[in-house]
Structure 1
Amino acid sequence: MIPVLALITTSRNGITVWSGSKEFKPERFEGDKHHEMDPYSFTPFSAGPRNCIGLNFAQNEEKVLIARIVERYAI
């Protein structure tokens, strides 16, 4: 069994995503430099292969809830 903390640390400190990932470099986010970075470089639960497994269910549940609320009112 792999601890969850190890997975989070590994995904945040990837050398392929961040150059010098073990060093404190606040200048990498200054000015327009953050626009050069891949916007999906660190999205642990919102995109990519690690997408939240409950996202689809939650979105469908929202649609049903809104439909039932709108159904009660005459437009």
Structure 2
Amino acid sequence: NTARATLEVMRKTILDENTKAQSAAAEQSAASMHAAEAQIAAQKSAAKAAISAEVSSIASEIYSALIGKAPTAAIIKMGAN
């Protein structure tokens, strides 16, 4: 029975270590996912800003071509909203 008890303790120790390792791996995976999500959000924000700037530039060029003068800051702000 001593051998059986020793084996049971060893089995429980191995299971506990595996559970800890799996928990650590899950936490690391979650942290990696959060970092990737943050990076995607930053890239998305940068892309939106670049697109907005390009649209504003094109709109200013069209306004200048139609009206014959550059748009004022107020007109640009109205167009951005």
Superposition TM-score, scaled by structure 1 size: 0.31
Structure with bigger gyration radius: 2
Q: Which has the higher contact order (CA 8 A, sep 6+)?
A: 1
Superposition TM-score, scaled by structure 2 size: 0.29
More helix by share: 2
